[in-house]
Every structure is written in C-alpha cells, then in structure tokens.
Structure 1
Amino acid sequence: MTIRRAERSDRARLVQIWEHSVRATHDFLGEADIAELLPQVRDVYLDAVEVWVYEDADAVAGFIGLAGAQVEMLFLDPLLRGRGIGTRLLDHARALHGALTVDVNEQNPQAHGFYRRYGFVDTGRSETDAQGRHFPLIHMAFLPQ
C-alpha cells in the first residue's frame, strides 16, 4: 500500500474511478449530469486540486483531492469499498493539514455517514452546489482533539 502524489499518467485511471464511483453512489445524478461533469472532472477539477492516490499492488484504487485543508473529492474503486482505503486517504490528509473540511451532497447518505463515522461534524448546509445546481450540500468539519 502506497499513498503518493498523482502523476499525469494516472489521469485516465482517476477519471475511470470517478465515473465508476459516481455511478455506484450518486443515485441522484442522471446520465446527462454525469456526461456534463466527466469532462469537467478530467480537464478542470483534477488540475485544480492536490491529488493523492492510494496504490495497492501497483494499481490505483482510490484518490483524494485537496484544496488546502478542504477535501474536494474522495473517490474509490467501488469494487474495493469497505477496505479502509477512504480512511487511509483521510488519515493522510489529516497528517498534512490537521483540521479538515468537506462538503457532501445531501442526497449521498453513504458519504455523509462515512464522514460522520470518521469524526466529521455537520457545520452547515447550502441549498445548491458550487455550480448553483439544486444539489444541496452538507458542510462538515473534522477538528483534531
């Protein structure tokens, strides 16, 4: 198991993980939403954040994207969920930044529950996402003891 900075050669795998994960967990998104978001993730969002990948047996199994202490994205290969990969990526982010924040889609109760189990607490709510779409967000924070 290795956590390392993402490289340009990881891009296709990161986009694949993002798409497979979104299809498995974001039931509120339709095909048109995914088709609209995919090129943005590939061409904009992955370049806008510091991306760390979890690699196991020379294969990328998940990644976390950080903008400072804000977790902007955390996606895992859906076939590998439940193996502690997300927790290890958050542990890595905490080692880098200490306190962390994240915005979670309200319609994604699995992610909200995951962050709450990790120790994040709800700090607020927005009716729309950052692009103004009606996908409410729950704002969360993890503050080290």
Structure 2
Amino acid sequence: MGRDIDIRETHGAMEYPQLVRVWRSAVDATHDFLADDHKAEIERRIAADYLPNVAVVVAERGGVVVGFAGTAAGKLEMLFVDAHLHAGFSITGRSSMDDQGWPYPLLHMALGEDGGPPPVRKV
C-alpha cells in the first residue's frame, strides 16, 4: 500500500457506517474527557443528524477510509482521522467548549513542519 491519500466526496449514507468507525477510532484515542453517555449520544446522531447537514469529503488510502471532514457555510465543522493514521498536524489552539455548549474542548490544528503529511490526490 502506497503513502498516497485520495480525497473524494462521500458516497452518501451508504458510507456513513465507515465514517462512524473512523469517528470512534479518533474519539477513543483522543477524547478521554468525553463522558460515556455523551459519546454514545453523539455516535447515535452522527449518521442521522450531523453528516447529512455538512458537505463531507473522505480521505482514503488504498481504498480504505482513513478520515473525513465536514464543512458548512465555509467553516470546517468536523475533522476525524483514524487513530492509526499519522497526518502531520499539530495543535495550535484549544476551545474549552464544543458547539453544543458541552464542556468538551475542541483542538485547533495546523499542518506541522515535521515532513508534512503524505501526498494527497483529489479524485
């Protein structure tokens, strides 16, 4: 499997279970502050409420989904990367609450200087 990552539009609702898997991987690795009941509620709502309301692009490597992003009104609303994929990002800031007003911090990130991510092709 090469290092190239392909970026493409989502295939729609049929692909949502794979995106939820990536979300779970990322959240389990990074969101230890998230209460179990909130995590379960968010996970239940991803496919039904959140993904249909954003423009979703998917990152895949070798045909396997490794991340996704959702945008709305010119704003990046979500970005989740499988916990096993290193993409060269570093944390540049943090918010103390999420957009629901829950006390869960959001990380603000930028592409790091440590060699950067693998090449990206838009397909």
Q: TM-score, normalised by structure 2?
A: 0.72
Q: Which residue of 1 aligns with 2:9?
A: 5
> In structure 1, the residue corresponding to 2:101 is in which secondary structure?
coil
Taking CA–CA contacts closer than 8 Å with sequence separation of 6 or more, which of the two structures ends up with the larger relative contact order? 2
> In structure 2, the residue corresponding to 1:38 is in which secondary structure?
helix
> In structure 2, the residue corresponding to 1:23 is in which secondary structure?
helix
Give yes or no for contact 2:34–2:104 (8 Å, CA) kept in 1.
no
Alpha-carbon separation, structure 1, partners of 2:66 and 2:106? 26
For structure 1, list consecutive stretches of 5 or more residues without a partner in the other structure: 88-113, 117-121
Give yes or no for contact 2:91–2:109 (8 Å, CA) kept in 1.
no
Alpha-carbon separation, structure 1, partners of 2:64 and 2:29? 20
Deviation of residue 137 (structure 1)? 5.1
- 1:7 maps to a residue whose letter is H
Alpha-carbon separation, structure 2, partners of 1:10 and 1:3? 14
Please give the residue correspondences for 1:40-55 in structure 2 after superposition, counting only pairs within 5 Å: 40-55=45-60
Give 4+ residue runs of structure 1 displaced > 3 Å after superposition.
none
Deviations 1:43-66 (A, max 9, x none): 111111111011111111111111
RMSD (Å), alpha carbons: 2.5
For structure 2, list consecutive stretches of 5 or more residues without a partner in the other structure: 111-123
Deviation of residue 17 (structure 1)? 0.4
Alpha-carbon separation, structure 2, partners of 1:27 and 1:44? 23
Deviation of residue 115 (structure 1)? 4.5
Q: Which residue of 2 aligns with 1:26?
A: 31
- Equivalent pairs counted in the alignment come to 105
Q: TM-score, normalised by structure 1?
A: 0.62
- 2:30 maps to a residue whose letter is T
Q: Which residue of 1 aligns with 2:83?
A: 78
* Seq. identity, %: 35
